[in-house]
Amino acid sequence: MADTHRTIGSLSVHPLALGGNVFGWTADEKQSFAVLDAYAEAGGNFLDTADVYSAWVPGNQGGESETVIGDWMAARGNRDAVVVATKVGHGVPEHRGLKPAVIKADVEASLRRLRTDRIDLYYTHVDDESVPVEDIITTLDALVKEGKVREIAASNITAERLRASLAFSEASGLAKYVAIQPHYNLVSRDTYEGDLAAAAAEHGLAAVPYFALASGFLTGKYRPGATVDSARASGAGKHLESERGVRVLAALDEVAAARGAEVATVALAWLAAQPTVATPLASARTVDQLPALLAVADLKLTDTELTKLTAASA
């Protein structure tokens, strides 16, 4: 592999973060274990999940993805080789928000499902502006001091609240966010670029963008007249209706053809080259979907290629 691992706080992670949202949803345990095995065999070590995955499925309670990952790590005996990220605050109603009591209860539930004694990277999944940042950070800091969490991070947060959180951490000498997980990709740039990315850059935070492939649109499988068997097809297909989506696909096709790469790999490589981005986050429902994602570690786009893609996505 041409690329080295990335650093997020004290953590060393693979250039592709593997999303666990599909585990226990569109991938059953057998499929999930196969994907996890293939990812690990390829050198992958960075798994991303959340306590709410996959509560949206009828009959599920949330935590199904954590359970699959926990069972897999237990079966393979590889906990120390894996960097596990999970999230709190976006669960079913009684587990929603970031009040200290919710965080304290939910971290214990995540640890049980993951069958581990620590979470490597713990995100606030969605900011809760009804709770002062001081209370959130103090609660998370206690988890770090107890050894239940190694590093803390934030997702779906405003630049203002992020800066306030970081300022409090620094002033108080408490645990500080080391990463941010924003919605960011070639067809959704204003969800991160600007004040939020600037705040991350100012404080040295690593970005791990979600929807890195725009729910599958940036894999190139969504074309006019094409039918795609995916639970996310309606969301991904909408990008075909925009001029930008069509422009981006054309630019991706051109770069992919010139480099002998998959469209998805090129889209992830553009993201990986953006300021603050440590590793894009993408999920695979089947083992066959993995190679194009993992190849991001070996594809470094030229300045000309990056400029072409950036211009197409404007």
Q: Residue 196 carries which side chain, given as an amino acid letter? A: L
Q: Rounded to 5 degrees, what are φ and ψ at 8?
A: -125, 105
pLDDT digits (tens, 9 = 90+) for 246-300: 999 999 999 999 999 999 999 999 999 999 999 999 999 999 999 999 999 999 9
Shortest CA distance to 13 belongs to which of 23, 3, 22, 21?
A: 3
Q: Can you tell me the distance from the alpha carbon of 187 to that of 184, in angstroms, rounded to the nearest whole number?
A: 8
Secondary structure (DSSP) of 35-59 = HHHHHHHTT--EEE--TTTTTTSTT
Is residue 279 a contact partner of residue 272, using CB atoms and an 8 Å limit?
yes
**Other residues' Cβ atoms within 10 Å of the Cβ of residue 233:** 17
Tell me the pLDDT tens digit for each residue of 111-161. 999 999 999 999 999 999 999 999 999 999 999 999 999 999 999 999 999
Task: Name which residue leads in pLDDT, 23 or 225.
Answer: 23
Report whether pLDDT(305) > 90. yes
Residue 39 has pLDDT above 90, yes or no: yes
Contacts (Cβ under 8 Å, ≥6 apart) of 218: 185, 186, 187, 212, 248, 252, 263, 264, 267
Instruction: Give the contacts of 247 (CB within 8 A, at least 6 positions apart).
Output: 312, 313
Q: Where in the chain are the domains?
A: 6-214+263-300
Vertex 62, ends 105 and 143: CA angle to 5°?
Answer: 30
CA distance 187 to 225: 20
CATH superfamily of domain region 6-214+263-300: NADP-dependent oxidoreductase domain (3.20.20.100)
Whether the Cβ atoms of residue 312 and residue 17 lie closer than 8 Å to each other = no
pLDDT in tens, 149-194: 999 999 999 999 999 999 999 999 999 999 999 999 999 999 999 9
Report the percent of the chain where pLDDT is more than 70: 97
Distance CA 185, CA 19 (A): 15
Q: What is the mean pLDDT of residues 47-66?
A: 95
d(CA 293, CA 259): 15
Which helix or strand (DSSP H or E) is residue 79 part of?
A: none
Please state the φ and ψ torsions of residue 102, each to the nearest 5 degrees.
Answer: -65, -50
pLDDT at residue 1, as a whole number: 47
Amino acid at 190: D
CB hemisphere CA count around 33 (13 angstroms) = 11
Alpha helices in the chain (DSSP H): 29-41, 64-76, 100-114, 133-145, 159-172, 195-202, 233-237, 243-259, 263-272, 290-294, 303-312
**234 has pLDDT over 70:** no
Output the pLDDT for position 41: 98
In the structure, what pLDDT confidence band is assigned to residue 236 with cuts at 50, 70 and 90?
confident
- Does the pTM surpass 0.75? The reply is yes
Helix (H) or strand (E) holding 13: strand 11-13
Q: Which two tokens stand for residue 188?
A: 């959704």
